[in-house]
Structure 1
Amino acid sequence: MSTSWNRTGENKPTVLSTLPKELPLDFLKTITGQFAEERILGVGAFGTVYEGTMPDGQKIAVKRLAENSPIARDKAFNSEVQNIMALQHENIVKLVGFSHEGQKKVVLNNGRYIVADIVESLLCYEYLSQGSLQKNLFEVPILTDWDTRFKIIKGICKGLVFVHSIGIVHMDLKPQNILLDDKMVPKIADFGLSRLFGQEQTRMNTQNVVGSYGYIAPEYLYRGEISNKSDIYSLGLLILETTTMQKNCPGNEPSAGSFIKSVRENWTPNHIVSQFPGSDGDRLQQVNKCIIIGLECVEIDRQKRPTIENIVDRLNGLCSSTS
């Protein structure tokens, strides 16, 4: 049984640490106030996330999967549970429980009321107090100091190293799916679109292209090709947005062509100096390095994109060129 420190400093198990992974639906309804509107933390294509309060006061985030999500609800549920269960890393959101339970409900079907078995699928995560990177960058912009943003970029990259090392491709990296804890440590979330690769497999093809507009790698969008380099493309956009604090507004461009062109043309070394007045040489070099890496990640030819290991080494100052 896992334990954690309570407020008095005693090594005492919390309610959360003693719960089984599979949680009763009624329990999750109770701790979210019957999925009350005022408990909503966020709404996405895959469902609505609610704040849940455990009997001991500890908070968790409860995602109620939507029936009309981009891929079948059962498939999204299975992908997320199976893939994220394997992910225990400081830069990946922790899954603490789930529920997949049917209840009888009266529903309208072809003009008649019938009793049907409705399955509710819910996923429970650690609660991250600072919310999404999207919110902190663009909605309530508090990430104004460069050191915090650079730490966030490096943390996301460290998390992605681990994801790729166990054969998972995330497929939906974007600022809304990066959550921040109270120390601004970033954690990759939402593995509903993730794919698990076999040991010898490096890419796969699909005819069912789903993802977030503005972050989709072109080879996936146009040819259905999925590989680690699909994530690198999305990561590049994440790095550019976090560095520039400028929003990738996709409009009619699923792969963010106009945003990339704008960064490539405007974010010159002289512009970086003007945007970071008073910054020392090391910080200006970090900003410049992030712009360069971000632009390499969004190369149309996926073979020209760096590996995630190379990106981490360069961000840590261990090497200076792609491999």
Structure 2
Amino acid sequence: MDAMTAADEAGGTVAGGGTADGGTAEVREFWQRLGLPGLVDVHTHFMPERVLAKVWDYFDAAGPLVGRTWPITYRAAEEERVEILRGFGVRVFTSMLYPHKPAMAAWLNSWAADFAARTPDCLHTATFFPEEDAAGYVRTALDAGARVFKAHLQVGGYDPNDALLDPVWGQLAEAGVPVVTHCGSGPVPGRHTGPGPVRRLMARHPRLRLVVAHMGMPEYTDFLDLADRHPGVHLDTTMAFTGFTEAAAPFPRDALHRLADLGDRILLGTDFPNIPYPYAHALDSLARLGLGDDWLRAVCHDNAARLLVTGPAGDGPAPAGPRPDATRR
């Protein structure tokens, strides 16, 4: 059975031993109503089990970078989590992973390459950290077919303008490979979060295809401004507009029209499995914005399929390498 067939037929198990059937029905009804072949989720987390276990422990303890009680809804074994996404109809997803210290990124990249090879509906994902060998292992990942990178400025605690990263950003800009970047100051500020460091980065590397995670919360309008200035800047919807986030960092209602204006550069992201609510709630939160079905179709499938699979119009195909078919059909 190929990955797309599996996405049509699989179910799954969620935290607490229940079934995903209830959530699966709502998610599938959402994209089927829009006439989509499924969803493309640019912000899902798969990483080595012992690393993910430590991440979950951190969430369970409401660590300093979490700042509040945060239950993990889809706490399950790796294979079960993959099947849950396939059951939802997520045709393409990522393995967002990130180092919190030196001498970790190359090992994570090796794991992610193997995960992508055995999980054909997961885009080959990679990461980096400001260190002497960063340019070398990023080149290795690109040559191996990496389609998307993750940079977590909050957890990593680094300035994206660190001189050690100059060759990395240059390689990624030249390759046209997007970087999903946690750079907003939510849920709590970091030493190098906020729009300032990213403004400086884009001024130095204007060709970068940067995906601002979480819509840049809570500095939403600052990152919308950045996207207005730089056509390579996109935003993902991860956790934005949900009840959980609106309670702490509400999106400004007077900026909703800007989401419509940037409708071709907003991408579905969810943070699965590390979300404190059902997957369907994230989709319902997008629908409740009232921006229309065309906007939802673009955000939940077409924009990411273009950026991550075929490249922006006029720029030719995305870099060579194995990939799932995320195109509409």
TM interval, short-chain normalised: under 0.3
User: Looking at both structures, which has the greater relative contact order when contacts are Cα pairs under 8 Å and sequence separation is at least 6?
Assistant: 2
TM-score normalized by the length of structure 1? 0.27
Which is richer in strand? 1
Is the radius of gyration larger for structure 1 or structure 2? 1
TM-score normalized by the length of structure 2? 0.27
Which is richer in helix? 2
